[in-house]
Each structure stands twice: as structure tokens, then as C-alpha cells.
């Protein structure tokens, strides 16, 4: 009982740290209509320290492109004035970010018990990985693929009935710290697997014939930081030599056209590519694991948010992948499956054109390792809540995403040889 009280106390304290930190902050959406208005956006980026929610919008912005950004409370009137005066079409997506943040949790009294329909902190997720493996020994096993910069073990769950020569699908979540719906999906997927094995025929076949490697959170240090200090943190938490700015964008840190486009060489930027490919312990651990399992891993799935997109290579070049037609039709069918539940509309295509060119991503890297089925999910929503997706949307988001993942897995299973 005492231990439980201490846990509750710690959660309350860390929640308190962030109390009101975002009070009065606004999130704007603008769609510049011409080059002149594009320049206004670039001006905001360089002079008003706005935080773009689709990273690198500052450098990639072009006419007719939708751009969402967050503004500090004391700057929000100035920014709004500037938008009004310059005639840039804009909408206030979130009027008070703090209120939206408070609304993302349904229940006020939060205790650190695990729930698939809540956002779980890292401590809770870590304990859950141990429990789910212990409770399903014939289906789930847990290993550690490395340690994060701050020394946390990176847990990987392997799911599947044991059998000879099984191929595998690798899926990770939690690359970007603030994209909380992503780890929630990895947990949901594991739950569905253990609960529907032996009941749902597709899931049963998948687990009998394939293994799934599920990494629930890649960027654990960043994820912890979003719970304790800054809900809007994106990068890892590693120190950068010669800079006081912290962190590298893990999805710019892979050796796939590394830092050539849509990535920054400046440690203070949200898309900092790091000092070298795989400079981060977390990305190195992931890349090492995949390299060691290349003979079995047939598909790579990485889960982000938000925008409702299903992306595939390439993002570091406009060049199309060799099996473009195949990937495109898989993405089309998977999006259709996803929409069948709640009519959630996804856009799909190669990253470079469907979202923006950005090098150093894990999807492109895995593809170039020879993993021909490589996809990035950008889950709900399209900006109404953005990263602050309310907990009430966890279940529907995960249910619909599961349909797409099962579709892809089943396709891969049917095209193994
Ligand atoms: O920019 C990213 O890393 C992803 N979008 S996010 O808003 N979640 O940050 C998209 C990744 C697409 N793939 C590559 N750029 N390789
Ligand atoms: Zn192994
Ligand atoms: Zn992301």
C-alpha cells in the first residue's frame, strides 16, 4: 500500500511540473496562397520561434501547403496580428494548448496502472512488457536490444507460436517522443494478438506462421521527458558536442541519404540528423537488431503521428522504389481496410511526395537493407488535436490501424517466397 501511495505521489508531482506550462499557447493552421505569403511563414519561423508541428515546414513551405505551428502565449497576439495584416488565411486549431492537454486525460485521478485505453508512462509500459510476456509464455517473449542514452533498457517483444524457419515482421513505435498515440498502438497490437490468438482466424494464422517483433517505444528517454518536462519534445535526449541544445531526431539518424535533404545539421533544430548515421544509441540498437535478423525480417513497420498517412520509400529521394506498384497497391488496400471501420481517410504514397522529402529515416534504411515491405504509419488525426489526441480516441484509432497492419502482414505472409 505504501509503495502504491508513493507511486501515485510521484505521478502527481511530475504531472504538476507541467501544470500550466502551455497556458495561453496557441496552435495555428495556415495555408499560404502565394510566394509572398510563404515568406511571411518563413519570417515567423526565423523571428518568432514558432514550433512547426510538421517538422521542417519552415524550409519546405510552398504555396497551398497546409502548415500547423505552435506559438508561445506572449507571442500569440503578435503572430495573429501579423497573419491578419498580411492576409494569410489562418485558423486557430487549438486556442489554449493547456486546456487541450488537460482534456487528453479522461480521468483526473491518475494512478499508475496499465490501461490500453489510456496513455501509459514509461514505467508502466516497461512493467507491462514483463507482465504480458510472463502471462503468455507460449506466445510472447521479451528481450533487451540495447540501452538508451540515459541508460534505460530497450525492451523488444517477440510474438508468435514457435516453429521452424519462421519469417518475421518488425514493428516499432515511439520514435518521436510527443507522438503518444504511437506507443499506445504497439501495446494495443500486442494485446490483440494475445487475446485473439485461437479465436480470430487471421490473427491465428499470422502468429502460427510469422513472428512479430514489437518495439513499444524506441525513443524512451524522449518519451519520459514528454511526461516530466515538455509534452512537445520530439528528439532523443543525448548531449551534443559544442552545443547546449539537446537531442537528435531519430528519424533523421539512419544511413539512408543521411542528412542530404529535409534534415538539419544544427543541433538546436527539431530535425537534427545527429553527428553521424546511427550516432544515437537507440537508432544503433534498432539498426543492429535488424542487420542481425535480415534473413528473417520480411517487413518493417514504423508508427508515427499525426496526419493519417501510409508512407513507403523513398523519402530521401524522389526516385521510386523498384516494387513501387506493389507497395502502392498494398498501401491502397490497407488504407481501404483501415477506413472500413470508422471511415477514417488515409492518404498514401512515397514519403518524398506524400509528405515531404526527408533523409535518414528508418523506413528508407530498412528498405535499402533489402526489406521490400517497409511502411511508415502516421496515425490520427489531421490536426484538430494533433499530438494531443484525446484518450477517448485511442481505442478507435488502434482498432482501425490494426486492420491495416493485419492486411499488410497477411499480404507479406502470402508473398513470402
Ligand atoms: O518526418 C518524419 O520523421 C515523419 N513524420 S513526423 O511528423 N511523425 O515526424 C515522416 C517519416 C517519413 N519517412 C521518412 N522521412 N523517411
Ligand atoms: Zn534473435
Ligand atoms: Zn514522428
Place of cell 521490400: 372
Q: Whose CA is nearest to atom 2 of ligand 1?
A: 251
CA of 306 to the centre of ligand 1 (A): 10
Is the C-beta atom of 234 inside 6 A of ligand 1?
A: no
Burial 18-55 (b: 16+ CB within 10 A, else e): beeebebbbbbbbebeeeebbebbeebbeeeebbbbbb
At 231 the three-state DSSP class reads coil
What is the edge-to-edge ordering of all strands in the sheet holding 297-305?
140-147, 153-159, 210-215, 167-173, 297-305, 373-379, 309-312, 347-350
At 39 the three-state DSSP class reads helix
Q: Is residue 326 among the annotated active site residues? A: no
Helix residue ranges per DSSP H, 273-354: 281-292, 324-342, 351-354
**Residue 106: per-residue pLDDT:** 60
HSE at residue 168, side-chain half, CA atoms within 13 A, is: 23
In order of 100, 128, 198, 380, 393, the CA distances from 388 in angstroms are: 7, 23, 35, 10, 10
**Residue 110: per-residue pLDDT:** 62
Is the C-beta atom of 174 inside 6 A of ligand 1?
A: no
Is the C-beta atom of 363 inside 6 A of ligand 1?
A: yes
Is the C-beta atom of 176 inside 6 A of ligand 1?
A: yes
> For each of the chain's 417 residues, which pLDDT tens digit applies?
334 433 443 444 444 455 668 888 999 999 989 998 888 888 888 888 788 887 676 677 888 888 999 999 888 888 999 898 888 889 999 989 988 888 777 655 566 789 999 999 999 999 999 999 999 999 999 999 999 999 999 999 999 999 999 999 999 999 999 999 999 999 999 999 999 999 999 999 999 999 999 999 999 999 999 999 999 999 999 999 999 999 999 999 999 999 999 999 999 999 999 999 999 999 999 999 999 999 999 999 999 999 999 999 999 999 999 999 999 999 999 999 999 999 999 999 999 999 999 999 999 999 999 999 999 999 999 999 999 999 999 999 999 999 999 999 999 999 998
Catalytic residue among 179, 192, 282, 378: 378
Domains, the chain, ordered by start: 2-104 (3.30.70.340), 122-414 (3.40.630.10)
Amino acid at each position: 500500500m505504501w509503495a502504491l501511495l508513493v507511486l501515485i505521489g510521484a505521478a502527481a508531482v511530475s504531472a504538476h511540473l507541467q501544470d500550466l506550462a502551455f497556458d495561453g499557447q496557441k496552435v495555428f493552421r495556415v495555408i499560404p496562397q502565394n510566394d509572398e505569403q510563404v515568406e511571411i511563414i518563413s519570417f515567423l519561423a526565423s523571428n518568432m520561434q514558432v514550433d512547426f508541428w510538421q517538422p521542417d515546414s519552415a524550409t519546405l513551405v510552398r504555396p497551398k501547403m497546409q502548415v500547423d505551428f505552435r506559438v508561445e502565449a506572449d507571442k500569440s497576439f503578435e503572430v495573429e496580428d501579423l497573419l491578419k495584416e498580411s492576409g494569410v488565411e489562418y485558423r486557430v486549431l487549438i486556442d489554449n494548448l493547456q486546456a487541450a492537454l488537460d482534456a487528453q486525460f479522461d480521468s483526473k485521478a491518475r494512478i499508475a496502472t496499465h490501461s490500453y485505453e489510456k496513455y501509459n508512462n514509461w514505467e508502466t509500459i516497461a512493467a507491462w512488457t514483463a507482465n504480458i510476456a510472463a502471462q503468455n509464455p507460449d506466445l510472447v517473449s521479451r528481450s533487451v536490444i540495447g540501452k538508451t542514452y540515459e541508460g534505460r533498457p530497450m525492451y523488444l517483444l517477440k510474438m508468435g507460436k514457435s516453429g521452424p524457419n519462421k519469417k518475421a515482421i518488425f514493428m516499432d513505435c515511439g520514435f518521436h517522443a510527443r507522438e503518444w498515440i504511437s506507443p499506445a498502438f504497439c501495446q494495443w497490437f500486442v494485446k490483440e494478438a494475445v487475446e485473439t490468438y485461437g479465436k480470430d482466424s487471421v490473427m491465428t494464422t499470422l502468429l502460427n506462421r510469422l513472428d512479430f517483433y514489437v518495439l513499444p517505444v524506441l525513443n524512451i528517454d524522449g518519451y519520459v521527458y514528454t511526461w516530466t518536462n515538455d509534452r512537445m519534445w520530439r528528439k532523443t535526449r543525448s548531449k551534443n558536442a559544442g552545443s547546449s541544445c539537446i537531442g537528435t531526431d531519430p528519424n533523421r539518424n539512419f544511413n539512408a541519404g543521411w542528412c542530404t535533404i529535409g534534415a538539419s545539421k544544427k543541433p538546436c533544430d527539431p530535425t537534427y540528423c545527429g553527428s553521424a548515421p546511427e550516432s544515437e544509441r537507440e537508432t544503433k540498437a534498432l539498426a543492429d537488431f535488424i542487420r542481425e535478423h535480415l534473413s528473417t525480417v520480411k517487413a518493417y513497420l514504423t508508427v508515427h503521428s499525426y496526419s493519417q498517412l501510409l508512407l513507403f520509400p523513398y523519402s530521401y529521394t524522389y526516385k521510386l522504389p523498384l516494387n513501387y506498384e506493389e507497395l502502392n497497391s498494398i498501401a491502397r488496400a490497407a488504407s481501404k481496410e483501415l477506413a472500413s471501420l470508422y471511415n477514417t481517410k488515409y492518404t498514401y504514397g512515397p514519403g518524398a511526395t506524400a509528405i515531404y522529402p526527408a533523409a535518414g529515416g528508418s523506413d528508407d534504411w530498412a528498405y535499402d537493407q533489402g526489406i521490400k515491405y517497409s511502411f511508415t504509419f502516421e496515425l490520427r488525426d489531421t490536426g484538430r488535436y494533433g499530438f494531443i489526441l484525446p484518450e477517448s480516441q485511442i481505442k478507435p484509432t488502434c482498432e482501425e490501424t490494426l486492420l491495416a497492419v493485419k492486411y499488410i502482414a497477411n499480404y507479406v505472409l502470402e508473398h513470402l517466397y
